[in-house]
Structure 1
C-alpha cells in the first residue's frame, strides 16, 4: 500500500543549490507514488542534496536510502560531501559500500554504493529488507550493471515491495522514456544554472607527442587564465608523462599538479578532488573518470586532448 501523505518538512541547508527548487515537487511525487525521474544539469546538486532531503520522509518508515553511483570514486566523493554537510564523518548518518571499502554503522540512514555492489545486494535479498528507497544516480551513463539493477529493483517493487521508492536521476538523459518504463512516473526537472563558455580549438600537430602538446596547452592556459585547470587524457601513462613535462617547465609555485585515475591511491584521489589551498592553483590531469559524477571545486578551464581509449 502506498503512503499518500502529501509532504513533510524539508531539511534546511546552509548553502542554497539549484536543485533546491525541484525538491518540493520530488518529495510530493514520492509521497503520492512509488517512483520518479529527476533530470538536473551537472552541478545542480542532485547527487548530494536529494538523499539528504528525502531522509526522514514518512514513507521511509525508518528504512534506509540507497544511492547508486557508477564508480567507486564518485561514490566515495558523494558520501564524503553528504557527511560533511551534516558535520559528520563517513560511516555515521551517511555510509559507503564499494569494492574493498565498507564504512557503515547502526546509525547509518543513507548508504552510497556502486552499481555492482547493489546488484549483488539485491540478488542476495530480492525484497531489499530494510531499504525504503533506491536512487539511481547518473543513469545516463547506461551501464549494464545500472540497467540490470533497475530491472531487478522494478521486479522487487512489483512483486515484493510496492512500498519501495525508486528514483532515476540524470544530467543529460531524456526523462520521458524512463518515466514510461517506471509506469508513468512523474518527471521532475531542475533548470540549474548556466554560465557562458568559450571554446578554443588549438589544432593538431601529428609530428609531436600528445604529452608535449598537452603540456604546452596547459602552460598557455596557466599564463592566460585564472583559476584551476582540469585536463583530460586517455590513460595513466599519458597522465604520468604530461605531469613529468609540467614539472620540468613550471615553477612549483605556479600550480599543484594532481593526477586523477582509477588505480590511484585513495588518498591521492581525494587530494585531486579537494579544492586548491587558498591562493594556490591546481592542474588536475584526469582520465574519463572525472567526466561525470564528480564536481571539482575551483575549476575554471577544461582542456580535452580529444583522444580516448
Structure 2
C-alpha cells in the first residue's frame, strides 16, 4: 500500500486540540467515484474548522483517523494548476454535502482526491500559497458580501472582529469593491493593520459615523447587539460564525421597525470561487497572510492558529 505524509486527527481532545494532532504517514487517497481525481497539493491553509475537528465537533469518531484541511491549490493529473473547491456531494450527510476532512480525507497531505468538477483553474499570476487561502475563508466572505449581503445595493459595511480569516477577507474585498468599510477589533495593533487595509478601524461597540447597509458577523453574542444598532433601515446582517457565543439577545422591535434582514451564510459555490479568483485578478487583490510554514513545521502552524493572535491566513507550503 502506498503512503504519503499528512496531518490528521488521531482522536478528539476538547480541552487541548493540538494534543490530538498527528503528523505522519497515511494511505494514498482513493477515489469513491470514477469522476474523482487526485491533486498533487502544493500549498494548503488552515481554518478554525481544523481545530474544531480536533475537538470532535463536526467530525464523527468512526471517521478517525481523518486527514485535516479544507483548502488547497495544486496540480491535477493533466498538469493543470488548480484551486480545490472543498465542498463535495455526500448522501451520508443530512445536508447532502460535506467539507473535505469531514467525511472524505482533507487537504493537509501530499495528495488529495476530489471530484473533477471541484477543480477551478488557478490564475497564472497567483502563487499556490496565495490561491490556497481562498476556498474557505475568502469564499465565505465573498458570498456573505455579494450573494447574501447584496453589497451592490449599498455603500457601507461593518465587519465585526477583523483579524480572523473570514473577517479580514471581508475587509479587503469590500474595500476593493469601493465600499465604505468599518471594522472592529479588541486589539489596538490589529486596528492599525485594519486601517492599513483601507478600512476605518473602531473599538468593539463604538458608535459609527453612519449606519451601514451590510454587517459581516462572525463573532456572535459578544457583538450582535452592536451589529443591530449599527444597521441602517433595510440593512442585511449576514452571519457565518459565532466564535463568542451562539445565543445572542436580539431586540426584535429593532428588527421589525428597521426592517432588518438577518441572514445565515456558509461557504459558497464552485462558480462563486471562480468569480472570486477573477475578482482578485481584475482588482489586484491578494489574500492577507499571517505566515507561511513549511509542511515539516505543521505543528507550529497549528499552534499559531490556536494562539488566537493571527491576522489573516496561516498557510502551509507543501514544497518545503
TM-score, normalising length: structure 2: 0.30
Larger helix percent: 1
Larger strand percent: 2
User: Of the two, which has the highest radius of gyration?
Assistant: 1
TM-score, normalising length: structure 1: 0.30
